[in-house]
Structure 1
Amino acid sequence: MNRQILRLDEGGDATFTAALRGGKGASLALMLNKFKLPVPPGFTILPSVHLTFMQNRGKANPLPPNFSQQLHRAILGLEKTTGKQFGSVESPLIVSVRSGAAVSMPGMMDTILNVGLNDAIVEEMTKQYGERFAYDSYRRLLEMFGESVFGIERAMFTDALRDTAAAATSLAGETSAVADLKDLCRVYKAIIAQRGREFPQDPYNQLAYAIYAVFNSWDSPRAQAYRRSKNITALGTAVTVQTMVFGNRDERSATGVVFSRDRNTGARVLSGDFVGQAQGEDVVAGSHRPLPIAAMRDWNPSVFARLEEAVYLLEDYCRDVVDVEFTVDSGELYFLQWRPAKKSVHAAIAFAIGGVFEGRWNKRDAVNMVSPEQVAQLFRKQFEASVLAQYEPILRGISASLGASGGFAVFTEQGAKQCAAEGLPYVLFRVDTSTRDLPIMLDAQAIVTANGGEASHAAIVARDLNIPAVVGCLELQIEGARALLANGILLEEGHYVSVDGETGKVYLGQFELIEATLSEEAKVYLNWQQRLETKVQAPRLHHDRAAKQININTELNNFYILDWMLKASKGDSSFNREVSRARNKLHIALAETVVCYLALAVAGELRHVTPHNTNFDARQKAAWKQLRQRYAIAETETGRFAAQSQVLKALQHLPHEQHIEFFELAVTVFERNWSATMVGGPAWAAIAKAGADFLTGRLSHTIFVDHVFDLEHNGGALFDKRVMMVKSEDNRLKLQLYEKRNAKSIKALYRCLNKLHPFVSVEVQRFWTTGMEKGLW
């Protein structure tokens, strides 16, 4: 039978993966089985169940066959482990139901605590643990249930809490008026009843409702927005059901979150907060006044010592700063989750180089711990977040390239050139971009498009230029030299706009940019990186590339898939570094192959020049003469391959400067059609100019290759002029280019390209498989 549920205490190391159990389930299983840390008993409903749930949404029973039986057996297993019974009044099993996607989405999906409480059980609990604990726990369940399951606005509950005298005492963790807590439970039930719903007294019904609510929260607006902003494409969430441990039980109870380092500086000191007599959601919600984690040393020294030991144990295993959630139930410490911590680039660098001086890893390991995107953040200017928060963006789209910048809005080539001529910064607005826009894109401060995704031309060029880009702005309607926005704003050329690539938002007006300041640790890190990392290869034309045959359809797949993988893998710094190295290596190699190919293609076309081309002007005639004298350009009677071979032989003995000159002279010769024949002309001038721009450094390796993929000559195919480039005989290459422009996610990109041409390199396939296992896409 297909396993849909796994207990936390079962399975070997191979099962402790986020792809199988979700991030939360994997972290719990690892802590329990590998490190023997105290983790409340529980089980995880696998993400595959959620996938079926989404596919069957709308059906009477959207869950997989046999799921109900497996869930019932899992509950029976918990009852056996804990000695308690789900639904029992005398010895009730109370559980939490928590989400756990493969990629961390903190606070984006729902959690429901204290599932299994009802009127009768709460009444009995008052006899064992006191009324305050029993009714405080019950009111929390009613609030979470009402909001997550029944969709009631949270304000309805929080307003009632604030208006109740119990609020002040409950939130402070002091002995509260039990009558007020009882009354609050009655008010919460009344709020639910006002919406035509009834809180279920059957614990099994509560559990079913809670599981559905967590599944549905995957598609909540906030979760969707977070996945878009973080480029998370993992499908679905796991659900972990655990025996409750209560941080609100008594004065010896607490809950909190601890970090193994200072998240801003990276200093080796525990940081975080805890709250006495509270439950975990109170810390996340910020509704309680917390104490710094250092205060726990006085509150309970033995608990603090055990917590500190476990946190550094997890840090050593993870080789990263960790974030650990915990609860103390009547003096007993329990661990509820751990994961790599979100931290500043400065903290990431301090941690990485600190480990070298502590002898935990070497310099190369340290360099690999910080992703290229994090390093780039050291130098990017940024807007003040507090300032932006005071303004409403005029556009929202997909964050295609990070950074922050501003300039005058331009919609036309003329407007861009005018700004450039006057030395004015500008932001280029387009429906989408193409190779025709490249010259004005190179001088833009930022790029905004109505269409496209992260594999679009605008996105690729902007990332390589390290300028912000926001693409896929559905509310952007461009009409000539102006744009009408959905909110009624008319944006015209000359209006100053600011683009925040981090959030995918565009603002009207100018905002101050903060200059990057490097810390001493950042300087040390960058020095190590410079010594250890392979330097970017200077552009060159190497004749050896002509002897190697490549399939251009396959290389197109590799090129664009790796480029998207770089951003999609940013949540895993070590893997991201590996992808970055492979991407850079491939982009450099492909650019060198392509520029060699262009030189040979241009040489083959130049053989058509004859003395009968009498419409040459003086400049073209002079350029043609130099090509014949220096580069062995052949006569028309010579075959294409022979003509190309002569030029290749000449180029291999010439310095880099003359490689550039070869392309520049060809541009001059090709500037206009030589005769009525369909040879030479402006299309070939564009091809030759691409080679010249690359070799002079005007175009990077990445932009150059992307640019050449979109080039055509006289309506024909470019990649059929030399056997070093092979491609499909049909128009598959054009279809690949079309599909990559319109893909909205890395999964969509991979699938559409693979369908058209099902080949990628072994390395790209390995990265794809690893990323799937890690839940990165």
Structure 2
Amino acid sequence: MTSSAPTSPVTAVSDVIFLDGTFPGSRDLLGGKAYSVNKMQAMGLPVPPAFALPTHVCAIYHDNGRALPEPIWQDVLEQLHRLEADTGRTFGAEPSPLLVSVRSGAAQSMPGMMDTVLNLGLTPQLCRVLADETGDQQWADDTWQRFRHSYASIVAGDPTAEPPADPFEQLRAAIGAVFDSWTNDRVKAYRARHNLGNGAGTAVTVQAMVFGNRDEHSGTGVMFSRNPATGENTLYGEWLSRAQGEDVVSGEKTPSPLPTVSEILPEIYPQLEQVATILEHEHRDLVDIEFTVESGRLYVLQCRAGKRSPRAAVRIAVDLVREGVIEPKEALARISPEQAAALADNHGVHEHHLVLASGIGAGPGAAVGHAVTDVDEARTLAEAGTPVVLVRPSTAPDDVPAMFESVAVVTELGGSTSHAALVCREIGLPCVVGAGAGTMTALAGRVVTVDGASGTVYDGDALNTDHSGARDEHLDELLSYLPGPVPAEHPLAPLTNTDQERA
């Protein structure tokens, strides 16, 4: 296929690329999600077939008045035929309709910041066809309702809107909506917080759907090859039966621990362990893997370097040196200045204070602030200098700018692999998720202490500023990799000062 847009800034690269593992594209070109899919296809892992519109097409779309040029759309249709051939299903037609997901993916991982549309390609008529084909009206209806909600909220921007009757119109609009999400406020806030610059744009991945909501032998989950909160070398993650991926990562439901998979689907858990081992070996790092099981068959949807707490970052880096995977110099480079600062400022809590709420510790560390349940109020107070603890039912992507201005986050629902937890863990923001219904009412207006390590919220200021706790052997070993005296401007300087105080 030849490039359909001569103005494309990337020479001799197609504007739509089939991800069969043979294309030698970089992460910058394909975006993180499509790059991951392409790489896992090349490794022979069970990945649903997909194609991508690379990152440079994002600029073409916006320069074209936020519209996909016709030649690129024709390329999309051509690659859609390849998905049909690979799946034996037909997009927008009987007797076996093909449904697809339309996913975002920038070069740098930004969990939950951009938009994704699932189950695309359904209409009321095709919903009936799907029910007839499978003999499962309940599943077909659930999938249709999920698509209606996703399309209305993400593509139409109107919760009362219905998807177009033409599935091809749905697809073209959803691709545009994903490109549009590149310029939303949460992306801007995330990129500013992490000094990522403006970036080239997001890619769009169109992938054949697999259904974790299909039956009792189906589900979806997120797993990490090591514990992202502590760094412990053990498989870690969460799982929801009869669910789709957004149910886990959105934080709108509280999932079960990953080991429950071994009880429900004992033949799947060893496959998960094997996949995690293979992908960690390939990445030479902690990996975050999204997966779905449909009717007892495992599919891997995405793999990326996992977001981790500052203390886990230290342990993982040191353990990988001990295992001979990376060199000490690389271990030092893997600790960001923000992680180093969070470790230097880390405080414990006085546990004799009244406990107001308990949940899952998702972002280690502790902080004190005024509990606020409204996003706009939280931002206003934070801008005025008031330490704010943001308390929400679950954290929607639009809450992210307020999260970045808060000292801690608490949610009533969700698990430790939700987007909110990933974002908090990455920046060292104390976070407690899944604290239960009524938490917002119990905490609103109070000064509270959030202990993200234990998953506990205490009344008042329970912070312990004493740094004389037990020494961290992994931190000591990491600091021993430093070549001599460390200048004050070095990212790890705060840790060496803290280490000297403890010695």
CA shift at 1:361, angstroms? Answer: 4.1
CA shift at 1:84, angstroms? Answer: 1.4
User: Which residue pairs with 2:307 in the alignment?
Assistant: 342
Q: Following the alignment from structure 1 to structure 2, what is the Cα–Cα distance between the partners of residues 395 and 387? A: 11
Pair 1:28–1:523, CA change in 2 (3 A): same
User: Which residue pairs with 2:62 in the alignment?
Assistant: 54
What is the identity, as a one-letter code, of the residue corresponding to 2:187? A
* Superimposed CA distance per residue, residues 315-347 of structure 1 (whole angstroms, 9 cap, x where no aligned partner): 122121111000001001001111111111111
User: Which residue pairs with 2:119 in the alignment?
Assistant: 114
Among candidates 13, 17, 21, match of residue 6 of structure 1: 17
What is the identity, as a one-letter code, of the residue corresponding to 2:81? L
- Correspondence 1:140 to 2:122: no
CA shift at 1:18, angstroms? Answer: 1.8
CA shift at 1:230, angstroms? Answer: 2.4
Pair 1:53–1:361, CA change in 2 (3 A): closer
CA shift at 1:373, angstroms? Answer: 3.8
Pair 1:516–1:53, CA change in 2 (3 A): farther
Indicate if the aligned counterparts of 2:280 and 2:287 stay in contact, CA closer than 8 A.
Answer: yes
* Superimposed CA distance per residue, residues 10-37 of structure 1 (whole angstroms, 9 cap, x where no aligned partner): 434x41x22010010011111111x210
User: Which residue pairs with 1:25 in the alignment?
Assistant: 34
What is the identity, as a one-letter code, of the residue corresponding to 2:183? D
Q: Following the alignment from structure 1 to structure 2, what is the Cα–Cα distance between the partners of residues 521 and 258? A: 29
**Matches for 1:634-645 after TM superposition, within 5 Å:** none
1:96 is paired with a residue whose SS is strand
CA shift at 1:213, angstroms? Answer: 1.2
Q: Following the alignment from structure 2 to structure 1, what is the Cα–Cα distance between the partners of residues 216 and 153? A: 28
Indicate if the aligned counterparts of 1:323 and 1:340 stay in contact, CA closer than 8 A.
Answer: yes
Q: Following the alignment from structure 1 to structure 2, what is the Cα–Cα distance between the partners of residues 57 and 517? A: 56
What is the identity, as a one-letter code, of the residue corresponding to 2:171? L
Indicate if the aligned counterparts of 1:381 and 1:514 stay in contact, CA closer than 8 A.
Answer: no
**Matches for 1:17-416 after TM superposition, within 5 Å:** 17-33=26-42, 35-57=43-65, 62-64=67-69, 66-129=71-134, 130-153=136-159, 191-192=160-161, 198-233=162-197, 234-380=199-345, 384-385=366-367, 387-390=369-372, 392=378
Over aligned residue pairs, what C-alpha RMSD do you find?
Answer: 2.9
1:250 is paired with a residue whose SS is coil
Q: Following the alignment from structure 2 to structure 1, what is the Cα–Cα distance between the partners of residues 125 and 248? A: 29
1:532 is paired with a residue whose SS is coil
Pair 1:90–1:393, CA change in 2 (3 A): closer
Q: Following the alignment from structure 1 to structure 2, what is the Cα–Cα distance between the partners of residues 92 and 151? A: 26
Pair 1:285–1:359, CA change in 2 (3 A): same
* Superimposed CA distance per residue, residues 51-102 of structure 1 (whole angstroms, 9 cap, x where no aligned partner): 11122326xxx33451011111111111112121111210111100011111
Indicate if the aligned counterparts of 2:247 and 2:253 stay in contact, CA closer than 8 A.
Answer: yes
CA shift at 1:385, angstroms? Answer: 4.6
What is the identity, as a one-letter code, of the residue corresponding to 1:52? I
- More displaced stretch, 277-286 vs 138-147: 277-286
CA shift at 1:280, angstroms? Answer: 0.7
Q: Following the alignment from structure 1 to structure 2, what is the Cα–Cα distance between the partners of residues 91 and 78? A: 13
**Matches for 1:427-438 after TM superposition, within 5 Å:** none
Pair 1:361–1:63, CA change in 2 (3 A): closer
Indicate if the aligned counterparts of 1:384 and 1:512 stay in contact, CA closer than 8 A.
Answer: no
1:66 is paired with a residue whose SS is helix
Indicate if the aligned counterparts of 1:379 and 1:516 stay in contact, CA closer than 8 A.
Answer: no
Pair 1:536–1:229, CA change in 2 (3 A): closer
Q: Following the alignment from structure 2 to structure 1, what is the Cα–Cα distance between the partners of residues 326 and 334? A: 11
Q: Following the alignment from structure 1 to structure 2, what is the Cα–Cα distance between the partners of residues 389 and 228? A: 25
What is the identity, as a one-letter code, of the residue corresponding to 1:226? Y
* Superimposed CA distance per residue, residues 719-756 of structure 1 (whole angstroms, 9 cap, x where no aligned partner): xxxxxxxxxxxxxxxxxxxxxxxxxxxxxxxxxxxxxx
Among candidates 479, 487, 503, match of residue 529 of structure 1: 479
User: Which residue pairs with 2:410 in the alignment?
Assistant: none
User: Which residue pairs with 2:418 in the alignment?
Assistant: none
Pair 1:537–1:134, CA change in 2 (3 A): closer
Q: Following the alignment from structure 1 to structure 2, what is the Cα–Cα distance between the partners of residues 526 and 212? A: 50
* Superimposed CA distance per residue, residues 353-374 of structure 1 (whole angstroms, 9 cap, x where no aligned partner): 2234444445444334323442
TM (normalized to structure 1)?
0.46
Pair 1:360–1:277, CA change in 2 (3 A): same
CA shift at 1:313, angstroms? Answer: 1.3
Indicate if the aligned counterparts of 1:274 and 1:292 stay in contact, CA closer than 8 A.
Answer: yes
What is the identity, as a one-letter code, of the residue corresponding to 2:266? P
Give the total of aligned pairs: 385
CA shift at 1:517, angstroms? Answer: 4.6
Show structure 1 runs of 5+ residues with no match: 154-190, 193-197, 398-403, 405-509, 539-562, 567-575, 581-777
CA shift at 1:237, angstroms? Answer: 0.5
CA shift at 1:395, angstroms? Answer: 7.2
Q: Following the alignment from structure 1 to structure 2, what is the Cα–Cα distance between the partners of residues 531 and 115? A: 51
Show structure 2 runs of 5+ residues with no match: 4-13, 348-364, 388-459, 494-503
1:199 is paired with a residue whose SS is coil
Pair 1:320–1:55, CA change in 2 (3 A): same
Q: Following the alignment from structure 1 to structure 2, what is the Cα–Cα distance between the partners of residues 31 and 87? A: 28
Percent pairwise identity: 39
User: Which residue pairs with 2:357 in the alignment?
Assistant: none
Q: Which structure is higher in strand share?
A: 2
Pair 1:138–1:385, CA change in 2 (3 A): farther
Q: Following the alignment from structure 2 to structure 1, what is the Cα–Cα distance between the partners of residues 247 and 379? A: 31
Q: Following the alignment from structure 1 to structure 2, what is the Cα–Cα distance between the partners of residues 85 and 356? A: 49
Pair 1:517–1:131, CA change in 2 (3 A): farther
Report 1 or 2 for greater relative contact order, CA contacts < 8 Å, sequence distance ≥ 6: 2
Q: Following the alignment from structure 1 to structure 2, what is the Cα–Cα distance between the partners of residues 524 and 120? A: 59
1:387 is paired with a residue whose SS is strand
Indicate if the aligned counterparts of 2:101 and 2:118 stay in contact, CA closer than 8 A.
Answer: yes
1:43 is paired with a residue whose SS is strand
TM (normalized to structure 2)?
0.70
Indicate if the aligned counterparts of 2:117 and 2:151 stay in contact, CA closer than 8 A.
Answer: yes
What is the identity, as a one-letter code, of the residue corresponding to 2:178? V
